[in-house]
C-alpha cells in the first residue's frame, strides 16, 4: 500500500477569483491510500472552503455528494491525534499542519515507513525552494531537518 497527498477540485470559487472571465474552481489537498492492486481506497473529504463533502475514488478525482454538507464519517485532526505521539501532535500544531498531513503521519506509523519525510513548511523564491521536513526515523524518534532545493525549469 502507498499513501498520497493530492488535490481535489470543488465546485466552489474563492472570492478573489469570482470576477474572472474563466472560472477558477477551488482546489484542496486530501490524503488517499492506494492498495496493492493500484486501486484508491474510497474515502470522504470535506472542502475546506465551502464544506461540501466529496467521495474520493481516484487520485485527483472525486464526486460531490449532493445534499451533504456534513458527515460524521469525515475524519478530523482531533480523531487522528489520538493515535499519534503527543510530541508529534504539538509539532504539527506549531506548524499549523492540516488534516492530510495528520492522515499521512498515521499511515507512516501504521505501515512502519521509517525514513519517510513530511514537509512541515516550504517557501519558493528566486528559483529555489526552502523549508523544513520531518523525518520519521522510528516509532519513537523524529527529526526536523532544513532543506534547500534549486528549481530548474
If asked whether residues 58 and 90 sit together in one domain, one would say no
pLDDT (mean) for 65-76? 79
* 136 domain-assigned: yes
The pLDDT assigned to 69 comes to 66
Q: Among residues 32, 64, 96, which one ends one of the domains?
A: 64
Q: Among residues 10, 34, 64, which one ends one of the domains?
A: 64
pLDDT digits (tens, 9 = 90+) for 116-126: 999 999 998 88
If asked whether residues 93 and 131 sit together in one domain, one would say yes
If asked whether residues 91 and 38 sit together in one domain, one would say no
How many distinct structural domains can be found in the chain?
A: 2
- Report whether pLDDT(71) > 80: no
Provide the CA 68 distance to its chain's centre, in angstroms: 21
CA separation for the pair 122, 131 (Å, rounded): 4
* 69 domain-assigned: no
Backbone angles phi, psi at 70, to 5 degrees: -150, 150
Give 100's strand partners: none
If asked whether residues 146 and 84 sit together in one domain, one would say yes
If asked whether residues 37 and 88 sit together in one domain, one would say no
* 71 domain-assigned: no
Is residue 66 very low, low, confident or very high in pLDDT (cuts 50, 70, 90)? confident
Contact 129, 122 (CB under 8 A): yes
pLDDT (mean) for 24-31? 95
pLDDT (mean) for 139-149? 94
Residue span of the structural domain in which 48 resides = 2-64
* 89 domain-assigned: yes
- Report whether pLDDT(99) > 80: yes
* 70 domain-assigned: no
The pLDDT assigned to 113 comes to 96
DSSP assignment letter at 92:
H
Q: Among residues 16, 41, 64, which one ends one of the domains?
A: 64
pTM of the full structure: 0.89
Contacts of 95 (CB under 8 A, 6+ apart): 120, 121, 132
Greatest Cα pair distance, the chain, in angstroms, is: 52
Per the prediction, the chain carries an average pLDDT of 92
- Report whether pLDDT(68) > 80: no
Amino acid at each position: 500500500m502507498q499513501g498520497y497527498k493530492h488535490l481535489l477540485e470543488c465546485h466552489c470559487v474563492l472570492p478573489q477569483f469570482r470576477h474572472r472571465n474563466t472560472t477558477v474552481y477551488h482546489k484542496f489537498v486530501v490524503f488517499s491510500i492506494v492498495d496493492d492492486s493500484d486501486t484508491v481506497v474510497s474515502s470522504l473529504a470535506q472542502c475546506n472552503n465551502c464544506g461540501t463533502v466529496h467521495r474520493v475514488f481516484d487520485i485527483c478525482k472525486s464526486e460531490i455528494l449532493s445534499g451533504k454538507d456534513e458527515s460524521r464519517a469525515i475524519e478530523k485532526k482531533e480523531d487522528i491525534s489520538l493515535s499519534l505521539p503527543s510530541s508529534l501532535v504539538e509539532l504539527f500544531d506549531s506548524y499549523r499542519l492540516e488534516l492530510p498531513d495528520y492522515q499521512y503521519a498515521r499511515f507512516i506509523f501504521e505501515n512502519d515507513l521509517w525514513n519517510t519525510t513530511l514537509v512541515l513548511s516550504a517557501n519558493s523564491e528566486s528559483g529555489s525552494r526552502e523549508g523544513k521536513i520531518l523525518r520519521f526515523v522510528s516509532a519513537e524518534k523524529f527529526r526536523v531537518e532544513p532543506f534547500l532545493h534549486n528549481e530548474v525549469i
